[in-house]
Each structure stands twice: as C-alpha cells, then as structure tokens.
Structure 1
C-alpha cells in the first residue's frame, strides 16, 4: 500500500531542495535553516518520513549531549546517542537534483564536517538554492565528472559567487581538525588551490575551526607560497569558521 501524498508549504519545499543539495542535516541545523522551532522540525520530519520522502536516523559522532529521547524516532528502551538527522530518499533527491544521486546515508565519520559546511553555507548565502550562487559538493561531484564517469579533480566543499564581483566564483574549504604529518596541511592547500585554478575560479576561501588551526593553515600557506617562489598566495583567503558563523548569527 502506497503512502498518502502530502501537500508541502513553500518553506517545506525550499527545505527539501536545500537538504537534497547538502545531502542531509541534523534536526538542529534544520531548525537554524528554516527558522522554525525544534517541534516544527520534528513534525515536518514525521510527515516527510511517513510520506516516504525522507529518512530519519540518529548519528553518533561524539557531539556533546545529553540527547532527548524521541518517542517517534527512537526504539523503546534504547538510549539516544547523537543528533537526529533528516535526509531525502533517493527518489526525492533525484527530483530536486535532476540526476540520480544513488543511495546515501549519513556516516559518523563525515557528519560533523557536513554540518559545518551547511552552517557556513547558511551564514554566507542563507537558504538560496540557486547553484549559480552556491554550488554544493554534491552538485560539483556531478558537474566535474569526466567523459569516463570519474571525477579527476579535487572536489571542494562548495563554490560561492563573489558578492562584490559577480564574475568571480570562489572555492570553499572547511577544516575542522589539524592534519598531522609531514606537510599534509600544505599539500591539502596545494591540491585545493590547483583544483580552483584548473576550474578557472578566483581562488579558495579556507575556513578553519579555532585560532590554533587557523594559525596552522596560515603557516602552511606561507610555506606553500615560498615553495612556489611567492611572497604570499594572492588566491587564498583564510578565515575563522566559528567567528564567521557567530557574526552571521548561525552559531
């Protein structure tokens, strides 16, 4: 027996499209995105899941609790660990993305990074789903496939159009933790910059979490500039992620 169809309000349709572009998001991030209460987000999630438009899962990636048990989404007798996530079914994602995204489910190893990227997107461009304003990583993976069906260039966390110069598009990279090891951070910067140049972008906007990591990125940028015979990298801007989120009211 098929599930009943539901009529979505404009804000719900916008949320579904945004969510499909970003893979999925936690209930908390969904509340920030929509400006709705946690109760309204939970109600929407119930409706979308019942109509087979979305999956709901609890993802434990070490984020701080305590977590409130959900009578709707948690199994009886099971203690909740980690936030609840909502993400579109394959068919609904296909409808919004206009290509088959395949089966996708959130993983604990990448959930924190996906959350940070989504929060940054909200801070910079809000809920705008125009891919000319913000091109999500999910859309980039489709766009940058070669004729062989493989992606042969580094995929950035997103592309964003320059607010001051609409002819410029910047790659966006989000870094949450230090890449330890000989030259790993420098190589990561190099790969991101080379991919931006190959795609004819203005450069890379690098957002690092915390003052310590930002300094490490700045030091890596200085080393990379010297390796390339430059005083500084003119196509790289380094920003503090949490300061940016706080300034824009996202965190």
Structure 2
C-alpha cells in the first residue's frame, strides 16, 4: 500500500463509502484506474464492492469486473471498507454497513463537498465526518440523542472556530418541517460551542425556502437575522472547487 492509498482507505472509512464516480474524483485519475484500485482492494480483502439498485437502468454500464455477464446495471457501484479495516482506521467497531439507495445521493453530495473543501485530509480536527460524530456524541446509554450534523469543519481563516455542515438536496415538506430541521442544526451547534452552521443547498428553489425558514426562525428568536448561519449553493461551491464541470 502506498501512503496515498492508506489515506484514501481512511477517507473511505470515515465517509462510510464512495461511489465509483466519487472514487475517480478522489484519486484524480480516470474510471479505469479507479476500477483497478477497487478490484485490488476487493481481491486483497480490504474492501467490498456493491451495486446499489436505484430501480432504473440510467447511465450505468455493465462492469466486467463486478457484474455478471449480460447483467443490466440499475445503479452505481460503491466501494466501502471491510469491517476490520474500517475498525482499524476509526479506532472503534463501526458495525456492518452497506450502501442503500435511499441515502447514497446524500452521502455522495457530502463526500464531494468534503473533497472540494478539504481534499483527502483525514485529520478529524480539520473535517469530522458524520460517522465520527455519531461515535463522539453517543450518550452514556450508547444512543445518539442529539441532532447529528453531516460534518464539522474547521474555519479556514480562524483555527479556533469550527462550523457544523449541513447538506440539503430536496425540500422538506410539511408544516414547519424545514424550520424545525434548521432550528435543530443551529441548537446542536450551540450546544457543542461551534461557530454556527454552514448550510449547503441544491437549487435556487430550495435556497429560497431555507432563507424564508431562516427569516421566520430569526423573528421567532427576536433577532433580525441568524448570525450563526450561512447558506451556500452546493453545486456552485462544487463547481468553483473543480468538482463539477
């Protein structure tokens, strides 16, 4: 294993897993190189590769290395560490984990944002992944009884500040649901003495909805605006950092 490969393994363990498309971006090489790396890690028992069934043939191609001949793919390939390998990097037993179609889009967005902002840096003081936060914030009963952010990230200009990160891809419909989610994220950041919450949203419509919810929440708290909240466009951020064409 080369040093960059062990760093990548630790990154994968912290992020649960990576789609092959994200793996390609992470290593900065083409799809063939990503596939060869995944094949080697699987062959040596360090990682698993699974096809996530999204219910649609979509743009995915049959893989000679990971699919049966003639099989029509209905979702992307994912790579994730074998449990003992993840345990070694995380320094706790993460339990069994496999990618699910219901969560892969969100996990991919968070991981691409991490790559855009901090690259493959695996120092948890720079970027604390949700997987690490779930371990850190467990109560004495072994349960997570507080809101878990998608990540924490250290401020790039002030090392004494740490921000919570939230990634929102779709509108939370229902009476006050979006406002409650926003309030929970802000309250959890306050309890952990964080600088605030960086809210990354997909699309102009969702951004407007979050801004409206933020304004209403500010008025409920008798302030003009929420000083500990920043709202950013996810795709613009990814494009500016070279993660989108």
Mark yes or no: TM-score above 0.5: yes
Distance 1:212 1:63 in 2: 26
- Aligned equivalent of 2:206, options 213, 222, 228: 213
- Aligned equivalent of 1:79, options 72, 80, 95: 72
- Aligned equivalent of 2:243, options 215, 240, 250: 250
Worse-matched range after superposition: 60-69 or 16-25: 60-69
How far apart are 1:21 and its partner, in Å? 0.3
Cα RMSD after superposing both structures: 1.1
Could you list the per-position Cα deviations for residues 212-251 of structure 1 after superposition, in whole angstroms to 9, with x for gaps in the alignment? Answer: 1011100000010011111000000000000000000011
Local SS of the residue matching 2:166: strand
The runs of 4+ residues in structure 1 deviating greater than 6 Å are none
Q: Does 1:109 align with 2:109?
A: no
Report what 1:48 is aligned to. Answer: 41
How far apart are 1:192 and its partner, in Å? 0.3
TM-score where L is the length of structure 2:
0.97
- Structure 2 unmatched ranges of 5 or more: none
Q: Is the 8 A contact 2:12 2:80 kept in 1?
A: yes
How far apart are 1:63 and its partner, in Å? 7.9
- Structure 1 unmatched ranges of 5 or more: 1-7
Could you list the per-position Cα deviations for residues 90-110 of structure 1 after superposition, in whole angstroms to 9, with x for gaps in the alignment? Answer: 010001101000000000000
Could you list the per-position Cα deviations for residues 118-165 of structure 1 after superposition, in whole angstroms to 9, with x for gaps in the alignment? Answer: 000011111100000000000000011111111121000000000111
Q: Is the 8 A contact 1:209 1:240 kept in 2?
A: yes
Report what 1:180 is aligned to. Answer: 173
Q: Is the 8 A contact 1:171 1:203 kept in 2?
A: yes
TM-score where L is the length of structure 1:
0.95
Distance 1:63 1:113 in 2: 18
Distance 1:39 1:9 in 2: 18
